[in-house]
């Protein structure tokens, strides 16, 4: 039989359409199954992890085990059915696509389309000139881009290795945000020098927006990628909130409920949400006075949640979180069974723990020394350094007394501690003693803070006491440079932006004074309500948590 276009082409066309439709339908179903599998992740999500977290031994009977097994079987069945569907669908899709293409090639080979009428002929010389020009320009661009890349790489590498005391890998990406209590490394030093100086909470002048916080709490805001993360809690509810930095709108909120244990008693000036959350660019981590610790993605999807045990702490747990290099550090100081834990940020499993024997309410900070990174914690008696990778105790110094609320500060190669009823101390961690241990250079007595952490910049240390007295100390010798009495005391910690110190008093009046050896008040601006949390200072603005509202202050 002769191959006739009239007979063959419609047949091939029909088959082509059929295979094209089959490929299209299979492709859509395939994509839907793939998306569904990755969204629901039956082996990770669902009820099974909740069961795994149950610690109530009374319910761990045969029925529970059977239920867990049935759920496990169901989750596996769902997972493997989806995988099987994807595999089969892929084969069908490629087979249909291959048949379509083969038919198309057969048709065009047996019955080639007539050639199109030739268009206007472009002069060979013109073509060649165009291509030569394009190649010349592209080559120049390649040379420029490669050179710029190479120079930039060399510069970045040098700055990482030479300025090792002040830089952390990938820190450029993160230090521009405020990702944990008191910003980068928890030291209270902002990456930007342009924090707003003046505003007025009464007239809203210099305040871009103000939004009500859904739940009470003394925790401070953390900011990353234009998202503000905040925690709030009552005796019955624990929540994590995410707000849009541009308009203050609530983007999401998530409940944290890991255990059925009753909430502990806490002091009303601590509350259930005193610890500040921490962010590592991938997840947000939050802990509450109940000992419940949870991780959420930046979009609010739960990642993991664990119960650290109810903290035995008469005011209530208030130590904030900090993260670095895939580990989340949890300072859980209690009367006699405290611990410092490093939690794997991906899985929520504990990588290491170090015992802590003395109570405190302070938060950990990270410092760089000649020996590498160190994690600095204070308690009611000691300041202690740990190896962040292993949890090994590196050194400690007995320099505190009373009930330690303020965290340590770091600057000019020295660690500083201060606490009401004790002393302020300066410990040199760079020029160590003959035994290689840090040396306490000086100690200072005077009006000391009971909540606000100190902040150090250059050779100056600033202390903000609950009595309203702010003191500036020369870190070289521990002498007083100046003191100033403000009207109200301070719970919020001072932060440094550029050459100024920013400090909110308990009434919500923000004082800005020069970070200098002589006192110079630059401005005082009212927020309009009490402020106890520490502000997050970013590029030209700050996020402030008041008693009831959250503010973005751009300044006048």
Partner 1 sequence: MTKKFSLRPAGFALLPALMLITVMAGDASASLDRFPRPEFHGGYQIPDNNFGSARAAFLYYMDVFALFAALCAACWVVFKKRSRKGVLALMLASIAYFGFYKSGCICSIGAIQNVSAGIFTGYAIPITVFLIFILPLIFALFFGRVFCSAVCPMGAVQDLVAVKPKKIPVRIDAPLRIIPHIYLGAAILFAATGAGFPVCKLDPFAGIFRLSAPTPLLAWGVAVLVTGIFVARPYCRYMCPYGVILGWASLISKHRVRISPGTCINCRLCENVCPVDAINQPEAEPSGEERKHSVKRLKIYFALIPVWIAAFAVCGWFLADAAAELHPNVKLLRIVELEESGAVMTKSLESEALRIDADIMAELRRAAGAARTGFRWGLTLLGIYLGIVIGGYLIRQSMYRKQDGYGTDPVSCVECGRCYGYCPQHKADKEKPKWVRDDKSC
Which parts of this chain interact with partner 1 (CB under 8 A)? Answer: 5-6, 90-91, 94, 101-102, 104-106, 109-116, 118-119, 121, 124-125, 127-139, 142-143, 146-147, 149-151, 153-154, 157, 160-161, 164-165, 167-169, 324-327, 368-373, 388-389
Our CB check for partner 1 shows the closer of 152 and 476 to be 152
CA pair distance 197, 525, nearest whole angstrom: 8
From edge to edge, which strands make up the β-sheet containing 542-545? Answer: 207-212, 549-553, 542-545, 536-537
Our CB check for partner 1 shows the closer of 24 and 101 to be 101
Our CB check for partner 1 shows the closer of 30 and 222 to be 30
Our CB check for partner 1 shows the closer of 44 and 98 to be 98
Our CB check for partner 1 shows the closer of 154 and 265 to be 154
Our CB check for partner 1 shows the closer of 242 and 375 to be 375
Residues in a beta bridge with 483? 471
Our CB check for partner 1 shows the closer of 90 and 211 to be 90
Q: Which helix (H) or strand (E) holds 419?
A: none
CB of 434 to partner 1, least distance (A): 22
CB of 49 to partner 1, least distance (A): 22
CB of 90 to partner 1, least distance (A): 7
CB of 47 to partner 1, least distance (A): 24
CA pair distance 203, 527, nearest whole angstrom: 10
Our CB check for partner 1 shows the closer of 430 and 514 to be 430
CB of 1 to partner 1, least distance (A): 15
Tell the burial category of 185 from Cβ atoms under 10 Å away from its Cβ (0-12, 13-18, 19+).
Answer: buried
Query: Do residues 188 and 494 touch, judged by C-beta distance below 8 A?
Result: yes
CB of 404 to partner 1, least distance (A): 25
Our CB check for partner 1 shows the closer of 247 and 325 to be 325
Query: Do residues 335 and 358 touch, judged by C-beta distance below 8 A?
Result: no
Query: Do residues 229 and 220 touch, judged by C-beta distance below 8 A?
Result: no
CB of 95 to partner 1, least distance (A): 11
Tell the burial category of 192 from Cβ atoms under 10 Å away from its Cβ (0-12, 13-18, 19+).
Answer: middle
CB of 133 to partner 1, least distance (A): 8
Q: Which helix (H) or strand (E) holds 173?
A: helix 171-175
Which residue, among 230, 208, 184, has the nearest Cα to 497 in the 3D structure? 184
CB of 320 to partner 1, least distance (A): 19
201: left (phi over 0), alpha (psi -120 to 50) or beta: alpha
CB of 111 to partner 1, least distance (A): 6
Our CB check for partner 1 shows the closer of 159 and 479 to be 159
User: ∠ at Cα 308 (315, 217), nearest 5°?
Assistant: 45
CB of 485 to partner 1, least distance (A): 41
Q: Which helix (H) or strand (E) holds 237?
A: none
348: left (phi over 0), alpha (psi -120 to 50) or beta: left
Our CB check for partner 1 shows the closer of 18 and 90 to be 90
DSSP secondary structure string for all residues of 485-535: E-SS---SPPEEETTEEEEE-TTSEEEEEESSSS--EEEEEE-SS---SPP
Our CB check for partner 1 shows the closer of 324 and 469 to be 324
CB of 12 to partner 1, least distance (A): 14
CB neighbourhood size of 551 (10 A): 28
CA pair distance 345, 361, nearest whole angstrom: 23
N-terminal to C-terminal alpha carbon distance within the chain:
89
Query: Do residues 356 and 367 touch, judged by C-beta distance below 8 A?
Result: no
User: ∠ at Cα 27 (23, 33), nearest 5°?
Assistant: 145
Q: How far is CA 215 from CA 237, 311, 393, 545, in A?
A: 9, 21, 38, 12
């Amino acid at each position: 039989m002769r191959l006739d276009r009239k007979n063959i082409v419609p047949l091939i066309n029909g088959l082509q359409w059929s295979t094209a439709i089959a490929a299209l339908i299979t492709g859509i179903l395939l994509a839907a199954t793939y998306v569904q599998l990755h969204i629901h992740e039956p082996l990770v999500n669902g009820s099974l992890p909740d069961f795994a977290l149950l610690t109530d031994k009374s319910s761990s009977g045969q029925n529970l085990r059977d239920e867990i097994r049935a759920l496990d079987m169901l989750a596996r069945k769902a997972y493997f059915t989806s995988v099987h569907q994807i595999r089969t669908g892929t084969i069908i899709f490629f087979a249909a696509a291959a048949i379509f293409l083969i038919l198309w090639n057969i048709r065009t080979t047996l019955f080639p389309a007539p050639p199109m009428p030739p268009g206007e002929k472009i002069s060979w010389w013109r073509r060649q000139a165009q291509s030569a020009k394009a190649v010349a320009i592209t080559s120049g661009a390649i040379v420029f881009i490669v050179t710029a890349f190479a120079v930039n790489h060399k510069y970045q590498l040098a700055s990482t290795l030479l300025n090792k005391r002040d830089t952390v890998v990938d820190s450029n990406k993160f230090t521009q945000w405020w990702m944990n209590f008191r910003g980068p490394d928890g030291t209270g030093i902002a990456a930007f020098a342009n924090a707003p100086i003046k505003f007025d909470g009464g007239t809203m002048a210099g305040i871009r927006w103000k939004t009500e916080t859904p739940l009470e709490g003394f925790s401070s805001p953390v900011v990353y990628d234009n998202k503000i993360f905040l925690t709030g809690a009552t005796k019955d509810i624990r929540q994590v909130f995410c707000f849009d930095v541009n308009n203050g709108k609530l983007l999401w909120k998530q409940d944290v409920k890991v255990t059925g244990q009753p909430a502990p008693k806490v002091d009303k000036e601590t509350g259930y949400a005193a610890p500040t959350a921490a962010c590592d660019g991938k997840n947000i981590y939050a802990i509450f006075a109940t000992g419940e610790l949870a991780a959420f993605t930046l979009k609010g999807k739960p990642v993991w949640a664990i119960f650290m045990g109810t903290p035995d702490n008469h005011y209530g747990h208030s130590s904030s979180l900090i993260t670095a290099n895939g580990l989340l550090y949890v300072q859980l100081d209690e009367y006699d069974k405290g611990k410092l834990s490093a939690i794997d940020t991906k899985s929520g499993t504990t990588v290491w723990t170090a015992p802590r024997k003395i109570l405190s309410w302070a938060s950990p900070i990270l410092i760089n020394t000649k020996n590498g990174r160190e994690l600095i914690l204070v308690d009611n008696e000691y300041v202690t350094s740990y190896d962040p990778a292993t949890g090994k105790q590196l050194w400690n110094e007995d320099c505190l007394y009373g009930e330690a609320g303020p965290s340590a500060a770091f600057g000019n190669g020295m660690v500083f501690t201060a606490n009401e009823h004790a002393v302020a101390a300066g410990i040199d961690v760079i020029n160590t003693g003959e035994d290689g241990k840090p040396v306490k250079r000086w100690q200072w007595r005077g009006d000391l803070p009971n909540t606000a952490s100190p902040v150090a910049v250059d050779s100056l240390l600033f202390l903000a006491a609950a009595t309203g007295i702010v003191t500036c100390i020369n870190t070289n010798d521990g002498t007083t440079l100046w003191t100033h009495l403000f009207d109200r005391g301070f719970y919020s910690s001072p932060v440094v932006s550029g050459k100024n110190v920013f400090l909110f008093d308990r009434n919500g009046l923000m004082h800005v004074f020069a970070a200098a050896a002589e006192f110079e008040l630059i401005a005082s601006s009212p927020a309009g309500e009490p402020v106890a949390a520490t502000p997050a200072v970013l590029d030209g603005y700050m996020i402030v948590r008041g008693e009831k509202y959250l503010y973005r202050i751009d300044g006048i």
